[in-house]
Structure 1
Amino acid sequence: MSEVSIDAVFRLIAGRTEVERGSVMPHTYQGFPRISVDPAVMGGKPCIRDMRVTVGMILGELGGGTTIEELLSDYPYLEREDILKALRFGASLAGFRDVALVAA
């Protein structure tokens, strides 16, 4: 069983955009136009629409019990579709990696 790094997965599904910001080329993921990555923003982590809101933050909040409605209230610049796409993006990444299970 081989383990694939998240960076390798990002490279596999990334589709470059034509947008340039200085010498940095931000990009979005094929099938996920709301998810962007820019090495100059949030350490290159996947973000929502070039904002400083990471997919990981959204998934962590939802996993911790925060509702979509609470997220929308706390972050009024987010849209429901942003949150749903973050969930779909996280699910797609989970499908790229084999995780070894340990007996309980």
Structure 2
Amino acid sequence: MAILTRNHGNFQVVLFFMLLLLVYFSENINEVASHHWSLFSRQQYFDNKGMFISLLFSVPILLNCMIMMASWLWQSSQLMIRLKRAQLKQKHHESLNGATETMSSKDD
């Protein structure tokens, strides 16, 4: 989802914060899951330290958040490169126009 939506900035911001909220509340999710594990599992995986939920739930979510951050940094660097190139082109055109104007005023 993080890679598929890389060109949709607003959706990615919402997704990013939702994923971070899930990681933030993973301790609470672990507590609820440890009390009700028999409803959805045959074994108790949810220990007091939260190792299972950290490894199988929080780490992949955090990796997705890191992918989104790297994508945002890449996009912003590409935007800065395009902006600087446009500024340099504009400055070059202005200097060419200024040189032709001074040459034409000398001819008069």
- What TM-score results when the alignment is normalised by the length of structure 1? 0.30
Task: Give the structure with higher Rg (CA).
Answer: 2
The structure with the largest helix share of the pair is: 2
By relative contact order (CA 8 Å, sep 6+), the higher-ranking structure is: 2
Per residue, is there more strand in 1 or in 2? 1
